[in-house]
Amino acid sequence: MRATAGQTNIVEPRHLGVNQPAAPLQRAAHIEIGPLWARAGSLTVVALVVSWGLWQWRPCLVAVPYLDDNSVHEQMIRFAATRLAAGHSPYTSWFPYLGLGSPQFLHYQGLGATVVGAIGILVGPDAAFRWSLYLLLAGWPFAVYLSSRLLSLGTGASTAAAVLSPFLASATGIGYEPKAYIWIGWGVWTQLCASWALPFAWAFSWRAMSSRRAALPAAVCVALTVALHFETGYLALAGVVVIALFSTGAVLPRLRRTVLVLGGSLLVSGWVIVPLVVSSRWAAHNQVLANTPLENGYGAKQILAWLFSGRLYDAGRLPVVTVVLAVGIAWCAWHWRRYPMGRVALSLWAMGMLLSFGRTSFGPLTVVIPGSTDVFMRRFGMAADLAGLYLAGIGAVAVGRGVAAWAQAVLPKGRARRWRQPAVFAAVGVVSVLGLLPLLGQMDAYAARNAGAVSSQHAADRRSATQIGSLIDYVKRHGSGRVYAGMPTNWGESFTVGTVPVFKYLESEDVDEVGYTLRTASLMTDPEYHFDEANPGDYALFGIRYLIVPTGQPPPVPANPIMSAGDYHLFVIPADGYIRVVDTVGVLSANRDDVGSRSVPYLSSGLAAAAKYLTVAWAGGRAAQPTMSGRPAAGSPGSVLSTDSALPAGRASAVVQVRRRAVVVLSASYDPGWVATVDGRRVHTQMLAPALVGVPVGPGRHVVTFSYQGYGDYVWLFALAVVVLAALTLTSCLSGNVRRRLLSR
């Protein structure tokens, strides 16, 4: 491969990335095979690894409800497909199913769901999701291999990194490893999508430091990473800085190219970043996880303990990856000055390790990271995984060269010379196979366990689908309210369809529910965690109309039985629904950081049961004036005569009869995108405790309509992205003289 300006030509595998091979490797130089055969052989090996993944992870294609967060991702894809087919953008739509609804595609990384949802219009959204999970997981070694080649690691190191990539197994299970994605794992599908973007973001950023032409693909890949997964986006952006610091070449050109890549990527991804920042005060900070390692990181002591015990890369087996990683780290450190790519890989690995320590180690210093309070810092270990694979690839080749040199030294000479080269290759092959056996054995067992769990769930789903399906059909036909079937913190966790709790199963059927908590950034997600199932007022406040409980178990509150099928019994609370006429009798002060804890006393009171709500002074702002600021009046403030709710389309309306000045409240999480009309006239909305949307009305009969209108500046942000891409193309493709002549006109 030809070197570019300012970059040492260090790509051949026999050199392991240094200018001159070490003496033992010189003696083994005659066993090298040609570059063409080396590339063909390496691609064959990577294809075999991918084929292994396609075989092992084929249960991903079985249609079953998910036990993990993949249920949320699949639901987002169904929602995206529906909205796109109707001619609407998911980014400006109301996602109604979890946490009393939210603009989920704005608060959360929604690009992957949007793209796969568009494909799902043609092939079915659920099938599109399953195939995306399957192919992205099984094919990831190709992404590692191709990015390694772009990073000039050489054929051998690139192949080794790709071969090791599907076998990572950490103590956390949330890194770049199968457990993070498959059915019995964590289901972090958006991370999987971004795992294909981050390697190329780093690779093209490396090339951009020595070639202006790479600035365009570098900025595009970094922006794509940001849009696919926010935590991975941080690693892509930080990686540009690290690569610039530790690359070769003159400082000023590197600085200019760094600014070009960072500035370009931030502007191109502005359509994701700007709405997120502008709307941040309306996105809840997860109070429940705020002081746990899940958000703050595990800390240096724990991470380093896992590293040195082998559990950071080889949990539950012999530390094969850890050993070759250590060799790669030592090799790159020893050749720090002569091997720029090794220096960069080592620096990226150190960056990932340090970031994964998180607030647990660095405390308030983490405020230098924009939006750090909303970041799950343990996820930054992804950088240590990816850079660790590159280092492990380098280390594996170094071990192979050492074995080859040893074999050359001990094999007999003279007439047996013609057997020496095959014997050397055999020795290297035996060591490689012995090293891979623990990885293959562990992952085969884990894949078999996953396959067994999926098969068991598929059988249970077929047995129970008719039973619980009849209850779900009734709910969908009659509508007008949410379903409650328990929570992760009570009997709901053991009330299942097969292994899947019913509250997760309902999500797979797109049933609007309360109980599957902490899934979104809606302002009601923390109050939902404190839902009191013994308080009838909470059912009214959360818009719960239906209860599904185990057959033989009484409902938590008085409700009318509707039907029973097998293990599942459906009840209805006739008076409750999405829309209610209420009095407001006081003020609650809250913000995105404490709305959950501050709403607990109100949720535990009897006020909501008596149709008495609180207005909210949000984030230091002024609350709406309560309707009952003096002595409370007796009796109900009014009633709902009829409703027409279509929350998946962002609409809800009701005909109400009001006795006195009151508020009509929609049981949906507050967002400034909600607009309301009363008898066709636009009226300002107000926030009611904990964080619901309401509109004031006077006495009489009224038609009240709520509709959601999302963030309105996407068109301008997309236009900006197009302009920036055009400018980057001009900058990357034209010579300096041509650019200067064009700009001088």
Per-residue pLDDT band for 6 (boundaries 50, 70, 90) equals very low
pLDDT per residue over 72-98, tens digit each?
999 999 999 999 999 999 999 999 999
**Contact predicate 618/599, CB 8 Å:** no
Written as one letter, the residue type at 538 is: D
- In this prediction, residues 553-571 reach a mean pLDDT of 96
Helix (H) or strand (E) run with residue 468 in it: helix 420-478
Nearest to 184 by CA among 452, 463, 519: 452
* High-pLDDT (> 90) share of the chain, %: 82
DSSP SS3 for 663: strand
416 or 184, which is more confident?
Answer: 184
- Tokens 């594996």 identify what position? 396
**Contact predicate 574/481, CB 8 Å:** no
- In this prediction, residues 131-135 reach a mean pLDDT of 98
pLDDT per residue over 98-111, tens digit each?
999 999 999 999 99
- Tokens 């009330």 identify what position? 495
pLDDT per residue over 419-434, tens digit each?
667 777 787 888 888 9
- Name the E strands within 478-578: 482-484, 496-497, 500-501, 513-514, 544-550, 560-565, 568-572
Q: Is a pLDDT exceeding 60 seen at residue 34?
A: no
DSSP SS3 for 135: helix
Per-residue pLDDT band for 465 (boundaries 50, 70, 90) equals confident
**Contact predicate 238/355, CB 8 Å:** yes
Q: Is a pLDDT exceeding 90 seen at residue 174?
A: yes
Q: What is the distance of C-alpha 284 from the center of its chain?
A: 17
> Which parts of 281-380 fold into alpha helices (H)?
293-296, 299-309, 320-334, 340-362
Q: How far apart (Å, rounded) are the C-alpha atoms in residues 117 and 89? A: 11
Pairing of strands 612-618, 674-678: unpaired
Query: What pLDDT does 213 receive?
Result: 87
Q: Is a pLDDT exceeding 70 seen at residue 15?
A: no
Tokens of 184: 């019995």
Per-residue pLDDT band for 318 (boundaries 50, 70, 90) equals very high
Domains, the chain, with CATH or none: 460-572 (no CATH), 579-708 (2.60.40)
32 DSSP 8-state letter:
P
pLDDT per residue over 709-724, tens digit each?
999 999 999 999 999 9
Residues 6 or more apart from 418 whose CB is under 8 A from it? none
Q: Is a pLDDT exceeding 70 seen at residue 21?
A: no
Q: How far apart (Å, rounded) are the C-alpha atoms in residues 658 and 638? A: 4
Q: How far apart (Å, rounded) are the C-alpha atoms in residues 456 and 458? A: 5
Query: What pLDDT does 576 receive?
Result: 82
646 or 732, which is more confident?
Answer: 646
Q: How far apart (Å, rounded) are the C-alpha atoms in residues 95 and 33? A: 57
- In this prediction, residues 155-159 reach a mean pLDDT of 93
pLDDT per residue over 484-529, tens digit each?
999 999 999 999 999 999 999 999 999 999 999 999 999 999 999 9
Helix (H) or strand (E) run with residue 653 in it: strand 651-658
116 or 629, which is more confident?
Answer: 116
How far lies 743's CA from each of 260, 261, 736, 739, in Å?
A: 17, 20, 11, 6
Q: Is a pLDDT exceeding 50 seen at residue 9?
A: no
Query: What pLDDT does 17 receive?
Result: 37
Helix (H) or strand (E) run with residue 134 in it: helix 125-150
Q: Is a pLDDT exceeding 90 seen at residue 635?
A: no
Tokens of 455: 């098969």
Query: What pLDDT does 249 receive?
Result: 86
Interior angle at CA 387, CA 383 and CA 389, nearest 5: 120
How high is the mean pLDDT of the chain?
91
* High-pLDDT (> 70) share of the chain, %: 92
Per-residue pLDDT band for 555 (boundaries 50, 70, 90) equals very high
User: For residue 653, is it left (φ>0), alpha (ψ between -120 and 50) or beta?
Assistant: beta
Tokens of 532: 């009191």
Query: What pLDDT does 210 receive?
Result: 86
- Number of C-alpha atoms within 13 angstroms, CB side, residue 21? 19
The lowest-confidence range among 221-235, 421-435, 564-578, 590-604 is: 421-435
**Contact predicate 652/578, CB 8 Å:** yes
**Contact predicate 168/373, CB 8 Å:** no
**In residues, how long is the chain?**
745
Interior angle at CA 285, CA 282 and CA 287, nearest 5: 140
410 or 190, which is more confident?
Answer: 190
Q: Is a pLDDT exceeding 50 seen at residue 25?
A: no
Q: Is a pLDDT exceeding 60 seen at residue 735?
A: no
Query: What pLDDT does 441 receive?
Result: 96
Measured on CA atoms in the order 306, 309, 310, 314, is the torsion positive or negative? negative
